[in-house]
Chain A
Amino acid sequence: MKKILALLLAALMVVGMLAGCGSSKTEAPKDAETKAPEAVAEAPAEGSAPALKIGLTGPLTGGASEYGLAVRGGMEIAVAEINAKGGLQIEFKAEDDEADGSDKAVSAYNSLKDWGMQILAGAVTTGSALAIAAETVNDQIFMLTPSASAVDVAMTGPNVYQMCFTDPNQGASAAELMAQKWPDATIGVIYDSSDAYSTGIVDGFLSKAAELSLNVAVDNAAFTADNKADLSTQVTQCKDAGCDIVFLPFYYTEASQVLTYANTIGYAPTFFGCDGMDGILAVEGFDTSLAEGLVLMTPFDANATDDATVSFVEQFKANNDGKVPNQFAADGYDVIYALYNACVAAGIDGSTPAADACAMLQEQFAGMTVDGLTGKGMTWDGNGMISKAPAAVVVTDGIYVPLA
């Protein structure tokens, strides 16, 4: 009996291997076919220059895949638009790192290098970005991360740039905004002490708040990844301290708990979130009336009516079963355009070695101004950190409205 089973299994494996061979064989010519006409179409415009190879590492599966898939979706739109224009062509490839900063990020990066990547448009999450930023310094590959916001990422090397705010900068601008809008408010802070994003914002926020002498009554209501299942104590602390504003610098996943619990106990301060709060209205089953009056800082508003945003949102919805893009998608889109503009200006194409492109891009980014979905007139400082105007919205009748 066992022998028969073993034989069966072996037979299955052989069939599987054959099937594998078959599909790869049929795929190969298809690939060649689709590439050939492209090359022909390109030839007159660019003098047969090969396409520029841009790679992305990010979580395409796993718990953080929401972010990785959004970034990839945004980048794919930008690549398609650019390639349709003619001129410099982009070949884009995304590798999955499961937001695992240890080995998976580096192996995703290595497989992109094997593919011939010239510019890295990743990573999506801070942990993974830190793991591969050091590698890009050694390999002299230019890196522009859409969403890894820790200061340490940009400080790794001169070739590492960010499209998003650094965490402390975001915290500081939140404090400035509060000082401007609600100078006399009593403020409570709930944050995730096990998360670099959240602690980074809180650090920047508290030091700026002290500078502006804001009244921060609760600054130690922390939770960790292990005990975030119950945030009722932290909310009760803010309620007891009489806070009018509760600052929630963490992801929307936990924020819905805070809003729900506050509503149950009849506590209604102004809740104030950061860009990680973006997405809360799209959570399935979430009662958006709980988020009424919620203020959040987000560089991208999918309800904005300018042409660029409208066409981006439409295209993204068409590609992703009607899903509304979040700021990660917009960051991804802007990253590709920033790289494209810089490459065109510097004359980089698919034949430029990665190390040369890296040096040329650093020079370009130093003096470049970019208008994108996530801000107008964006510039970068010498460390690779972005400077753009912070924007805040307030949830009104279930949609974002710019904060007046």
Chain B
Amino acid sequence: MRIFQYLINGISIGSVYAIIALGYTMVYGIAKMLNFAHGDIIMVGAYISFCVTNYLGLPAWASVLAAMAVCTVLGILIEGLAYKPLRGTPSLAVLITAIGVSYFLQNAAQLIWTSSPKNFTSVVTMKPISLFDGQIVITGEVLLTVGVSILVMVGLTLFTSKTRTGKAMRAVSEDRAAAQLMGINVNRTISTTFAIGSALAAVAGVLLCSTVPTLMPTTGSMPGIRAFTAAVFGGIGSIPGAMLGGILLGIIETFSKAYLSTQFSDAIVFSVLIIILLVKPAGLLGKQVQEKV
């Protein structure tokens, strides 16, 4: 019975990783850059939602919409000001800039909202479902996070395969120069990618803080890095891979904490990751791309 509770706990945190990983993988897959500021956009999204509910007194759904709107604009601004001028430079320069943006967002949040933690009120009002006399408890947050991450995964897959913009994204991802020659506006496509990725980050922020209520300027950074690991684990660039990687990472983490050692849980999680990457270097669902010389 206990094992099921741990499984649910694992899926709960895993689906939060999954939804963050979806944003990572989307931006990496199309813009071919690691947006290390993604975790911090999550944090901004959570703060916006917190402010809208606590200071303006608006309902939860309005706060999620506001967070998505602010994060979308923020994502486009960051892309335009920090990443676009560096297009064509070595990818290392963009990576360092992304780390810079991450620090900028954290410190700006510290100035605006101070470093003292805030307690995020969950957007879920549903009562937890209690099974077997309370031996297993499924919270509304788990159901919502799993539901939303599946929805986002399916939505993104459909979007990239069916719509014009989505197809343009895949073309840019495949070969930027060729896509440009075919008349695709590469800059606009990448901006759109960032806009979608940041809107997802806002949703992820609200779900993360609904599951784990402590909200601080550094809230996004550690889950962000874990979600990035999850994205690599599942095969970076692959949308279903990010989902699978996130959930598996959450479950492995919880089980190693519960049955092996809480102190070494990270070591265990990352050892599993190393072993899997040794066997499948492209990640679980990643495509092995043949380099033609």
Contact = CB atoms under 8 A, between A and B. Distances in A.
A260 interface: yes
B258 A265 contact: no
B58 to A, nearest CB: 15
Contacts of B214: 253-254, 256-257
A66 B116 contact: yes
Contact of B262 (A220, A226, A229, A266): A220
B238 interface: no
A284 B118 contact: yes
B152 to A, nearest CB: 20
B110 A283 contact: no
B13 interface: yes
A64 B114 CA distance: 10
A162 interface: no
Nearest to B116: A66
B40 to A, nearest CB: 14
A386 interface: no
Nearest to A225: B222
A228 B212 CA distance: 10
B149 interface: no
Interface string A235-274: 0110010000000000011101100100011100000000
B143 to A, nearest CB: 13
A233 B212 contact: no
B262 A222 contact: yes
Nearest to A234: B262
Given A229-B222, A232-B13, A257-B213, A224 B119 contact: no
B283 interface: no
A343 interface: no
Most buried by A among B2, B213, B254: B213
B6 A233 contact: yes
A236 B9 contact: yes
Most buried by B among A234, A236, A253: A236
Contact of A64 (B115, B137, B261, B265): B115
A227 interface: yes
Interface residues of B, number: 43
B6 A220 contact: no
Contacts of A221: 262
Given A227-B266, A265-B137, A283-B118, A237 B130 contact: no
Interface string B104-125: 0000001000111111110000
B243 interface: no
B160 interface: no
B216 interface: yes
B134 A253 contact: no
Contacts of B50: 285
A278 to B, nearest CB: 13
Q: Which of A66, A223, A264 has the most CB of B within 10 A?
A: A264
Nearest to A282: B116
Interface in B82-115: 110, 114-115
A66 B115 contact: yes
Interface in B241-293: 253-254, 257-258, 261-263, 265-266
A287 B262 contact: no
A349 B76 CA distance: 59
A233 B216 contact: no
A62 B109 CA distance: 11
B139 A227 contact: no
Nearest to A231: B212
A63 B266 contact: no
B266 A264 contact: no
A227 B216 contact: no
A232 B115 contact: no
B223 interface: yes
Contacts of A225: 222
Nearest to B140: A264
A193 B263 CA distance: 7
A2 B71 CA distance: 32
10 contacts: A62-B110, A63-B218, A65-B110, A233-B254, A233-B258, A234-B257, A236-B9, A257-B213, A285-B119, A285-B120
